[in-house]
Amino acid sequence: MSDTLTDLPAIAALRARLADLPGPALLAAGAIGAGHGHDETGNLECLPALVLRPSCTEEVSRMLAACHDLDLKVVVQGGRTGLSNGATPRAGEVALSLDRMTRLDPVDPVSGSIVAEAGVSLQRVQEAAEAAGLSFGVDIGARGTATVGGICATNAGGLNVIRHGMTRAHVISLEVVLADGRVMGHTRSLAKDNSGPDLKQLFIGSEGILGVITRVCLALRPAPGPAATFFGSAPGIAAARALLARLRRDAPAALLAFEIIDRPLFDRITTAGHVSPIAPGAVQVLVELEEGADPDHLGAVLMEAIEAGELEDATLAASGSQRAALWALREACAEAVFSLTAPVGFDIGLPTAAMEAFLHDARTGLEAALPGIGIYVFGHLGDGNLHYIVDTDQPDTVAQIVFGALAAHGGAISAEHGLGREKAKYLPLVRNAAELDVLRGLKQLLDPRGILNPGRVLP
């Protein structure tokens, strides 16, 4: 399909308009690698009609202006590690890949910031920060491939959100190219700017439907010291929630992570060969506190939690290798999920107060519709974000039930992965008519011809 599409007059006209750009700036059919055909979801439908590979903001501007004039639809591609089919091309779309924009400026040690082009990997930012005695507050498993543009456009979360916030909290400023090629914003390290509404916020988490982020100034933080880590078992979600409240109030240092693994998933992890350091319970918790947590104080708090029935068993990491072993249990969740027959994953956000009620209603609904169905839950209880996995060959039925329960309990249909094409149709479940109107109005304002990532986010 893509071969014939590249012969469309509009594609030919685009190539003519950009003919003066150097060779690597355009990839035509035949030269396009399969990677440009999908994101981490892996659902390749077709290759893009053309891949545009700008080397700088000015080229992004020229390319988008041309696509706008020619009414060509554009799919924006970063590291393509997304999990919601946002970067997967549809027939006839031109891909705009930021993979050649990889300039990373030196760390500014005074303001504690760094400027990166959109194609720089998250890991390079982390390493540059560390070399300057600082750190970057966002970390996700795909750090080596995920890009600065991608984590900003999707407002990536990760393991330390409870303490440091999502990517939005780390963006000082950004530059963006609108659908018609106009350039907005800057990458100065202006920590405070209340000169009118903060337009950059529109583009963070908008998944490329409102503009293309080209460069970003990111805030860095002090390098973290050694954390205090423990692994425990709780008799249920309610107990884990009570433990969370206790730690927020009484723990000797701030929470860096509060992760859970439910019993069905944990049993798969131990069956696969991992050794549990404690007697498992209905819910396993992995908790990390910031440096400076006095071990005696923490031990006393954990004893109180055991006496209150919030914990059944717990072990504190006494060394870096023990800490790594505890985190290996959490990281084993992914492989345990992939070992299921047909895992369908939901990345849900909930007010922590609604957690038990949602889990009850979703399970009841699923078991009524699909008796014997396998349900596995793990994730970031500390920020109300669970990965809810169902082993099923009926993903649509399951999605209706899960999202229905979620909407009834005031949840988010995506806590961190975004909507892409996979979840766009469910947006009306969690946004009212006024909100959908405003979203459509924003899209119309910033991309009047609808050329940017069409079909993503907005139903």
**In the range 28-67, which residues lie near a second copy by CB under 8 A?**
none
State the minimum distance, in angstroms, from the CB of residue 34 to a second copy. Answer: 27
What are the strands of the beta sheet with 255-262, ordered from one edge? 313-316, 228-234, 283-289, 255-262, 374-380, 385-391, 343-349
User: Does 112 interact with a second copy (rule: CB under 8 A)?
Assistant: yes
Return the residue of 90, 100, 221, 297 that touches a second copy, per CB under 8 A.
Answer: 221
Please, which of residues 285-314 interact with a second copy by CB under 8 A?
Answer: 291-292
Return the residue of 76, 161, 305, 405 that touches a second copy, per CB under 8 A.
Answer: 161
- Neighbouring CB atoms inside 10 A of 311's CB total 25
Residue 395 backbone dihedrals phi, psi, to 5 degrees: -60, -35
**Sequence-distant (≥ 6) Cβ neighbours of residue 336 within 8 angstroms:** 265, 268, 269, 272, 376
**Sequence-distant (≥ 6) Cβ neighbours of residue 351 within 8 angstroms:** 384, 409, 410, 411
Please, which of residues 120-139 interact with a second copy by CB under 8 A?
Answer: 132-134
User: Does 418 interact with a second copy (rule: CB under 8 A)?
Assistant: yes
Return the residue of 41, 77, 147, 385 that touches a second copy, per CB under 8 A.
Answer: 385
Return the residue of 83, 210, 260, 261 that touches a second copy, per CB under 8 A.
Answer: 210
User: Does 357 interact with a second copy (rule: CB under 8 A)?
Assistant: no
State the minimum distance, in angstroms, from the CB of residue 243 to a second copy. Answer: 9
User: Does 402 interact with a second copy (rule: CB under 8 A)?
Assistant: no
User: Does 78 interact with a second copy (rule: CB under 8 A)?
Assistant: no
User: Does 337 interact with a second copy (rule: CB under 8 A)?
Assistant: no
Residue nearer to a second copy on the CB measure, 25 or 399: 399
Residue nearer to a second copy on the CB measure, 92 or 158: 158
Return the residue of 204, 265, 314, 390 that touches a second copy, per CB under 8 A.
Answer: 204
Q: Which stretch binds a second copy (CB under 8 A): 13-21, 23-31, 46-54, 106-114?
A: 106-114
User: Does 445 interact with a second copy (rule: CB under 8 A)?
Assistant: yes
Instruction: Choose among 78, 71, 34, 84: nearest CA to 53.
Output: 78
Return the residue of 1, 3, 141, 201 that touches a second copy, per CB under 8 A.
Answer: 201
Return the residue of 28, 31, 191, 324 that touches a second copy, per CB under 8 A.
Answer: 191
Per-residue CA distances from 67 to 10, 193, 243, 440 (Å) = 9, 33, 54, 21
Residue nearer to a second copy on the CB measure, 178 or 401: 178
Tokens of 294: 């006095």
- Neighbouring CB atoms inside 10 A of 216's CB total 30
Q: Which stretch binds a second copy (CB under 8 A): 268-276, 315-323, 333-341, 343-351?
A: 343-351
Evaluate whether 96 touches 54 at the Cβ level (below 8 Å).
yes
Place of tokens 């500390």: 382
State the minimum distance, in angstroms, from the CB of residue 60 to a second copy. Answer: 14
State the minimum distance, in angstroms, from the CB of residue 202 to a second copy. Answer: 6
Residue nearer to a second copy on the CB measure, 102 or 352: 352
User: What x/- string results for residues 227 through 246 when contact with a second copy is judged by CB under 8 A?
Assistant: --------------xx-xx-
User: Does 186 interact with a second copy (rule: CB under 8 A)?
Assistant: yes
Evaluate whether 70 touches 16 at the Cβ level (below 8 Å).
no
Residue nearer to a second copy on the CB measure, 31 or 353: 353
Residue 371 backbone dihedrals phi, psi, to 5 degrees: -55, 140
Return the residue of 17, 127, 412, 449 that touches a second copy, per CB under 8 A.
Answer: 412
Residue nearer to a second copy on the CB measure, 2 or 154: 154
State the minimum distance, in angstroms, from the CB of residue 131 to a second copy. Answer: 11
User: Does 441 interact with a second copy (rule: CB under 8 A)?
Assistant: yes
User: Does 341 interact with a second copy (rule: CB under 8 A)?
Assistant: no
Q: What angle do CA 247, 248, 251 make, to 5 degrees?
A: 45
User: Does 194 interact with a second copy (rule: CB under 8 A)?
Assistant: yes
